């Protein structure tokens, strides 16, 4: 996976100039699974946000719906040395207006 971290940082700095009250809460990826790439990208967002949320959006519509999952990460290892990251699932609650439900 190729992610231009410098570009992302520059775009966030520009965004903050226009909308200084908005913060990064996390990031999303399309697909069903967390991969080794997820860990690398999550590491970047961990520098920009305190305990960022990682959201996966399954756009294949398996089961006739768009499945959305959310996770936070926890470092694993021994005292003073991180050996990896574990993604812990969060409960996702869909909230919508009646007019949005039609779509």
What digits encode the pLDDT tens for the residues 52-64?
Answer: 999 999 998 887 8
Tokens of 90: 């969060």
In angstroms, rounded to a whole number, what is the distance separating the alpha carbons of residues 85 and 27?
16
* pLDDT of amino acid 27: 93
Tokens of 74: 């926890």
What residue ranges define each of the domains in the chain, with the CATH number in brackets?
A: 5-101 (3.40.140.10)
pLDDT tens digits along 19-34:
989 888 999 999 888 9
Find tokens 């812990």 and name the residue.
Answer: 88
Tokens of 86: 């574990």
In angstroms, rounded to a whole number, what is the distance separating the alpha carbons of residues 52 and 100?
27
Q: In this predicted model, which residue has the larger pLDDT, 48 or 69?
A: 69
Kindly report the average pLDDT of the chain as a whole number: 87
């Amino acid at each position: 996976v190729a992610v231009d971290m410098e570009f992302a940082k520059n775009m966030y700095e520009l965004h903050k100039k226009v909308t200084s009250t908005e913060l990064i809460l996390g990031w999303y990826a399309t697909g069903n699974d967390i991969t080794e790439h997820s860990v690398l990208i999550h590491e970047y967002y961990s520098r920009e946000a305190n305990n960022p949320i990682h959201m996966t959006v399954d756009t294949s519509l398996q089961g006739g719906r768009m499945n959305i999952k959310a996770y936070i990460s926890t470092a694993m290892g021994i005292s003073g040395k991180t050996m990896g990251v574990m993604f812990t699932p969060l409960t996702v609650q869909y909230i919508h207006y009646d007019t949005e439900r039609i779509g």
